[in-house]
Structure 1
Amino acid sequence: MDVGDGSTILFWKDMWHNDILADSHPRLYSFAKNEDVAVRDLLTAPALGQNFHLPLSIQARGELQDLQTSMATLELADTRDAWKCVWGSEGFESSKFYLHCFRDGVADKAFEWIWKSKCTNKWKVFAWLLLTDRLNTRNLLKRKGMKLRDDVYAYLLCSNPPEETVEHMFFECNFSKSCGEELGIAWPAHGNRLQLLHAVKDVWSRPMFMETFIVAAWSIWKECNNKHFRGIIPTRNGCARDSKMTLE
């Protein structure tokens, strides 16, 4: 941002002097009376005690002298302050803000496969929740501190069920494995959900791998919910048939 009259820029918290001063001068900032003071109000204050709790520590006084030196040539103008986004444009766009915040993040290729698939947005979001372990499985509810009836957190579609996790529900359970095999998906015995996806995709010889996986996972999710809320007994053939009809 470019300083004009300094009335709309926060001295400590906005990036107007190469850095955010609260971060670059933390000791002096700790003595500030008003953390949200505007640039104009701080620079035009008649006395040091108006902006800071006195006396300052030796370290804070050193940072004050550094600021005074670096701002010796700064002059406020009669024009309005000019705000610019850190990515270079004047207008704010949520997509650019998101990209800026996560500019150093590297996502697994599997997430790119989700958003490039031909599935509906609802299924894409479902797949994203699945791969990030944010589906409301019983394991996640337990981690959130939610108490289920009789403290039962086991998976519903197994005869001797372990706790219901994303890995077991979609990759390890015999029911999900058999449904996947009907569609040509054979999960390896070991690996996390992302490693398993990569392993199967590497040997997949047909098109629409990600669409097939997402539709199959959605069908398994529906079968589990149907048993829990409606008492409908799931079948492998029914799950596979539902997936195939959807893919067609």
Structure 2
Amino acid sequence: MVLLSKWWWRAYGERGSMWNKIMSEKYGPLWHYDLSNIDLKVCSPIVQSIIGIHANPVASKLVNPQNFKWRLGNGSKIYFWEDWWTEDQPLCRKFPGLYSVASVHHLLVKDFLHLWLKFPDDPLVNNELWLGSLSHDHLNELHALSVILQNMNLLHGNDTLLWLQGVNPFTTKSCYAMLEPPTALSHQQSFIWRLIWAMKVPPKIHAFLWKVQWNILPTRAFIGNRIEGSIKECPWCTSSIETVDHLLWQCQLAVWGWGFISKWWSIPCQKLQNNSPSLVHILTFFKSTLQNKIWQLVAAAVFWSIWLARNELVFSGTKIRKQQFLDLIFLRINKWGSVVRLIDFENDPLWKVNPQGAISVHHYKISREFWRFKVESYDYICAVDGAYGLNDQCKLGGGVGGFILNKQGTKVLIFSGPVRSHCAAESELEGMFLMCRWVIRLGLHSHKVVICSDSTTTINTLHSSTDLSSMYSSCDPMLQHLINVSIFIQFVPGYLNDDADLLAKQGLMKSKMFSWVHNSSA
């Protein structure tokens, strides 16, 4: 249903694309602004399924015409009468009398304004706009239309279709959130899935860990519960029933694997298993972004090696030797990490004896080089981040955090606190707007400033939008004119944005916004 609703967005917004022009020729101009009024009898089965969702009470919330409004740019895409682009409804509904005598329907805004300006003082005599003479009622509507168009000016940017129910542009994610608003429970449940699918491991490992989390890995216990008389004992140690927990945490293979990792990473086994071992616990073991990404790869390699060694015994009758098993774990960690360029220091002797130290040294080197280049290129360097999750009251909310450095590396501003948001993307955007307001408030915009964010969605929004202040109430009106002039928005990898990330997560737990300015406090 949500995926079908996206075709409505594409039909309305992608008017210049070839496929859309073909559909418009086949089904008429209604395809571009009112799919619900197209006759289903003349539609193909696929188009019927797309248009037919408006009859569903749930889907009608997504494709309601009140959800789609155009923001005027150069007027080359918007239908003057039929589209909603000004006032509180389409002009054909606001002025039905004028629409009934308009000489041309489905006229673009730029073309209508061109005709209107031919006789700006007396549009009544414009035969290109109206069919015949206008009645008294028409004249009243014409006067009201003249007031609307009096200060109407076209802009240089493109016309933009807005979806008023969520973050622009339209996304299936925001649709799902509209139909089923996230709760604390659903957020906790979805967290592990986002965690698994974001891991830097081969695709088949994603699927494997997905099965582990759902507890549907085809162990002997799983099969035995479905096939009567099946053997349920662990094929390796034969002392317990082979459940997912037994295989990955208690079996001799697991003892070998986690014992090796415990010694290599200098982590006590008891701390790894935490009395009640779980995938969430093991995949969120470290707070540092880079360290935890590498650790997730390590844990996945252990799980996968256990499963492959178990299958080798079940299907081939071969028991792997301990040292060979541990060598394979180490090999998989290095190979996977090298492929995704997460571990490019596998030949460093420190990595083999002190992996946490090797990661810290590697992180320090790349972090110092990254920020050193920023300091050399800009007068002020800003880092900002947003967070979304459960706050200290166990309710879903957003948090933001960030700081500003001068050329000497001294922090001139730190802020951290809660914001109103419905998803992580909104938190990131609010954090960016807050940082921009601080830059302007402190007068730094007269210098060369770079703001670094690890959210590509936020960066793309700022670079592609032509009227930020009208789209977002929290955006400073000056920002639009400063972007790429004195304020530059750039991407920073998440693992190099740890400080801002920590401030954002701390802000999520605060009751109010905290800010500190050098030599003073606010």
- Is TM-score (shorter-chain normalized) higher than 0.5? yes
Q: Provide the rounded CA distance (Å) in 2 between the counterparts of 1:5 and 1:137.
A: 53
Tell me the CA shift for residue 110 of structure 1.
4.1
* Change beyond 3 A, Cα 1:196–1:243: same
**Larger % of strand: which?**
2
Q: 1:119 to 1:195 in 2, by over 3 A?
A: closer
Question: Which residue in 2 is equivalent to 1:124?
Answer: 206
1:191 aligns with 2:276: yes
Letter in 2 for 1:225: N
Question: For each residue in 1:17-49, what CA deviation from the matched residue of structure 2 results, as whole angstroms up to 9, or x when unmatched?
Answer: 769xxxxxxxxxxxxxxxxxxxxxxxxxxxxxx
Unpaired stretches in structure 2, ≥5 consecutive residues: 1-7, 9-33, 41-50, 63-162, 335-522
Supply the AA of the counterpart residue of 2:321.
T
Residues 125, 94 of structure 1: alpha-carbon distance in 2 compared, 3 angstrom cutoff: farther
Aligned to 1:244: 330
Give distance in 2, aligned partners of 1:18 and 1:110. Answer: 29
Closer, same or farther in 2 for the Cα pair 1:11/1:192, shift >3 Å?
A: same
Q: CA deviation at 1:232?
A: 0.3
Report how many aligned residue pairs link the two structures. 178
For the 8 Å contact 1:114–1:128, the answer to whether it is kept is yes
Deviation at 1:126, TM superposition (A): 1.0
Matched, 1:156 2:254: no
Aligned runs of 1:81-230 on 2, under 5 Å? 104=182, 105-106=186-187, 107=189, 109-143=191-225, 145-147=226-228, 150-161=229-240, 163-184=241-262, 186=269, 187-188=272-273, 190-194=275-279, 196-197=281-282, 200-201=285-286, 208-230=294-316
Specify which structure has the bigger relative contact order, considering alpha-carbon pairs within 8 angstroms and separated by 6 or more residues.
Answer: 1
CA shift, 1:212, in A, is 0.6
State how far apart, in whole Å, the 2-side matches of 1:195 and 1:16 are. Answer: 34
Work out whether residues 170 and 220 of structure 1, in 8 Å CA contact, stay in contact via their aligned partners in 2.
yes
Provide closer, same or farther for how the CA distance between residues 14 and 232 of structure 1 changes in structure 2, counting only shifts above 3 A. same
Pick which of 175-184 and 9-18 moved more: 9-18
RMSD: 4.1
1:97-147 CA distances to partner (integer Å, 9 max, x unpaired)? 77777763323644433323221111121112112212111222234x223
Q: Does the CA-based 8 Å contact 1:114-1:124 persist in structure 2? A: yes
Q: CA–CA distance in 2 between the matches of 1:99 and 1:178?
A: 44
Q: Distance in 1 between matches of 2:281 and 2:250?
A: 11
- Specify whether residues 112 and 160 from structure 1 end up closer, same or farther in structure 2 by C-alpha distance, changes over 3 A only: same
Alignment of 1:68-79 (within 5 A): none
Amino acid in structure 2 at the alignment position of 1:4: N
Q: Is the 8 A contact 2:58 2:179 kept in 1?
A: no
Contact 1:113–1:210 (Cα < 8 Å) also in 2: no
Q: Which amino acid aligns with 2:239?
A: N
Query: Structure 1 residues 98, 199: closer, same or farther in 2, change over 3 A?
Result: closer
Distance 2:260 2:207 in 1: 24
* TM superposition shift of 1:198: 5.8
Inter-partner Cα distance in structure 2 for 1:18 and 1:179 = 52
Q: 2:305 touches 2:328 (CA, 8 Å); kept in 1?
A: yes
- Unaligned 5+ runs, structure 1: 20-84
Task: Kindly provide the CA deviation profile for residues 187-241 of structure 1, in whole angstroms up to 9, marking residues without a partner as x.
Answer: 42621423642685469x9551110111111111011111011010133322211
Instruction: Write the letter of the residue equivalent to 1:155.
Output: C
Overall identity of the aligned pairs, in %: 16
Give the AA of the match of 2:311. N
Decide whether the 8 Å contact of 1:139 with 1:164 is kept in 2. Answer: yes
The letter for the 2-side match of 1:116 is A
Cα drift, residue 166 of structure 1: 0.9
Q: Secondary structure at the match of 2:210?
A: helix
